[in-house]
Amino acid sequence: MILHERNRLPGWLFVLPWPLDAIGGVARVLSDLVLEYDRSDLYKTYVLVLDWEAKKPIYLNHETYIEIRLRVRSPGRSIFAFKENIAFLLTIPKTLLILHKIVKKYDIKVINPHYLGAEYINFALFRFIFRWCKYFLSFHGTDLLDFEKSTGFLRSQLSYCVSKADYLICCSNGFADRLKNMHIINKERVVAIPNGIAHNFSDVISNLPEELVSSKYILSIGTFDSNKGQNSLIRAFSNVIDSKKNIKLVLVGRDGSSLASVYKLVEQLGLCEYVFIYKNIPLDEIGAFYKNAILYVSASRFESFGLVLLEAALFKLAIVATKTIGSLELIEHEKDGLLVEIDSKDELVAAISYLIDNDKVRINYSEIFHHKVLNTYTWENSVLQYTNLLRDLN
């Protein structure tokens, strides 16, 4: 489509707490989603990034979208946080006016915040006042956990953000059911749209770290926090190497609250020469870790979907995963992978050892899951489902 025709397309405004090039799964999902929107030629895409330094809108042109940086206030976490609450109330008119100008200038049809936060109360208010612009709220995982655990004034803020949404979008059916089980007034608006996977993700352009070259290793990727279960995996791995001294464990992830305890556990168990830890690796360097692994293991305690499982599938890695919401929907036990109970050291050890010892089974699982992912989980399907929601409202 030529440029002047593209500029006439209606707009879709994504909202995110971080820029698309941030390290982490949510930014990666949004980056791929925005790219597919651009390919679809259905909407011109805009990404509003919450940026405390941007007192006025800052516009940045990217190849496939326009980025808008803006300070967006939230109320205080407590009703007695008078300073924060007054500042929020005083800035509401200005924030809504700026949003109105953006929406009108770019013919925005949908404001679509991702990863629930109290700042999104501004977009809920905008939807309440300007009913012609739709408001879709997309959940990703730990944001729902935070919503579940919230109380008092903060819970009221988040509930208002949820209540004004035309649709509440979750990345798996199980995750959608969990949201429906909460006390929200618009359960009928909860829908599941699974994430996709960019097929070119398997085009590896970087080299493996020198210390891993020629090594036989198990891979696990995820932010270093308690939800990802790296400590549980390390304990299981310590039993695996009792009989398999040539195997290593590679952990890759964003720096998080449990990283220090991961390092400490590795040292306590005497695994320093067997466990390799890499933090904050850029996306374009992740592929090399997948490409050279022999097995992928997820020991997560909570996964709303499991994008890393799709990535592992692209590289034809057999998978062992704990029974989270996401893995139960993606993997069929003993057909295209192995599923184990959460925090079950014995089951993890048995599943890992079995697949390492049985090349034929490991390869068979990887081939079946690879083809399933390629045929089912595409960003093209995700964009179609998103845009169909808007069509159903009109």
Tens digits of residue pLDDT in 5-37: 556 899 999 999 999 998 888 998 999 999 999
Burial 9-41 (b: 16+ CB within 10 A, else e): bebbbbbbbbbbebbbbbbbbbbbbbbbbbebe
Phi/psi-derived region of residue 222, left when phi > 0, alpha when psi is between -120 and 50, beta in every other case: left
Average model confidence (pLDDT) across the chain: 93
Task: Examine the domain organization and report whether 15 and 146 are in the same domain.
Answer: yes
Give the pLDDT confidence score for residue 350 in this predicted structure.
Answer: 96
Largest CA distance in the chain: 66
Give the pLDDT confidence score for residue 291 in this predicted structure.
Answer: 93
Q: Which residue has the higher pLDDT, 205 or 224?
A: 224
Give the pLDDT confidence score for residue 1 in this predicted structure.
Answer: 45
Tokens 């980025």, residue located: 67
The 3-state DSSP class for residue 67 equals strand
Task: Examine the domain organization and report whether 350 and 253 are in the same domain.
Answer: yes
Is the pLDDT assigned to residue 66 strictly greater than 60? yes
pTM of the model: 0.90
Tokens of 194: 């699974």
CA distance 162 to 153: 14
Give the pLDDT confidence score for residue 204 in this predicted structure.
Answer: 65
For the segment 158-198, what is each residue's pLDDT rounded down to a tens digit?
999 999 999 999 999 999 999 999 877 788 999 999 999 88
Is the pLDDT assigned to residue 205 strictly greater than 90? no
Average pLDDT over every residue of 363-380:
95
- CB-based contact 134:393 (threshold 8 Å): yes
For the segment 248-296, what is each residue's pLDDT rounded down to a tens digit?
999 999 999 999 999 999 999 999 999 999 999 988 889 999 999 999 9
CA distance 230 to 219: 11
- CB-based contact 162:178 (threshold 8 Å): no
CB 50: neighbour CB atoms within 10 A?
21
C-alpha separations of 106 from 8, 44, 45, 119 in Å: 9, 9, 9, 22
Tokens 């929406």, residue located: 103
Task: Examine the domain organization and report whether 77 and 31 are in the same domain.
Answer: yes
- CB-based contact 134:109 (threshold 8 Å): yes
From 259, 261, 260, 236, select the one nearest 249 (Cα to Cα). Answer: 236
Is the pLDDT assigned to residue 3 strictly greater than 50? no
Please enumerate in sequence order all residues whose Cβ is within 8 A of that of 77, keeping only pairs 6 or more positions apart, or say none.
84, 118, 153, 154
Please enumerate in sequence order all residues whose Cβ is within 8 A of that of 200, keeping only pairs 6 or more positions apart, or say none.
none
Residue 174 belongs to domain with CATH number: 3.40.50.2000
Query: What's the domain range around 69?
Result: 3-196+378-393
From 16, 123, 23, select the one nearest 65 (Cα to Cα). Answer: 16
Q: pLDDT band at 4, cuts 50/70/90?
A: very low
Task: Examine the domain organization and report whether 32 and 153 are in the same domain.
Answer: yes
As a whole-number percent, the residues of the chain with pLDDT over 70 amount to 97
Domain count, the chain: 2
CA distance 239 to 362: 20
CB 333: neighbour CB atoms within 10 A?
14
Task: Examine the domain organization and report whether 171 and 314 are in the same domain.
Answer: no
Average pLDDT over every residue of 216-245:
93
Average pLDDT over every residue of 208-230:
94
Within a 13 Å sphere around the CA of 315, how many CA atoms are in the beta-carbon half? Answer: 22
Q: pLDDT band at 244, cuts 50/70/90?
A: confident
What is the chain's alpha carbon radius of gyration, rounded to the nearest angstrom?
A: 22
Phi/psi-derived region of residue 95, left when phi > 0, alpha when psi is between -120 and 50, beta in every other case: alpha
Give 306-333 as a DSSP string.
-HHHHHHHHTT--EEEE--HHHHHH--B
For the segment 78-132, what is each residue's pLDDT rounded down to a tens digit?
999 999 999 999 999 999 999 999 999 999 999 999 999 999 999 999 999 999 9
Task: Examine the domain organization and report whether 219 and 314 are in the same domain.
Answer: yes
Q: pLDDT band at 339, cuts 50/70/90?
A: very high
Task: Examine the domain organization and report whether 176 and 230 are in the same domain.
Answer: no
Give the pLDDT confidence score for residue 6 in this predicted structure.
Answer: 55
The 3-state DSSP class for residue 20 equals coil
Give the pLDDT confidence score for residue 8 in this predicted structure.
Answer: 82
Is the pLDDT assigned to residue 143 strictly greater than 80? yes
Task: Examine the domain organization and report whether 262 and 313 are in the same domain.
Answer: yes
Task: Examine the domain organization and report whether 179 and 301 are in the same domain.
Answer: no
Beta bridge partners of 192: 170
Task: Examine the domain organization and report whether 256 and 166 are in the same domain.
Answer: no
Task: Examine the domain organization and report whether 332 and 223 are in the same domain.
Answer: yes
Beta-strand relationship, 216-221 and 247-253: parallel
Task: Examine the domain organization and report whether 17 and 135 are in the same domain.
Answer: yes
CA distance 175 to 335: 23
Helices 307-314/359-376 angle, 10° precision? 110
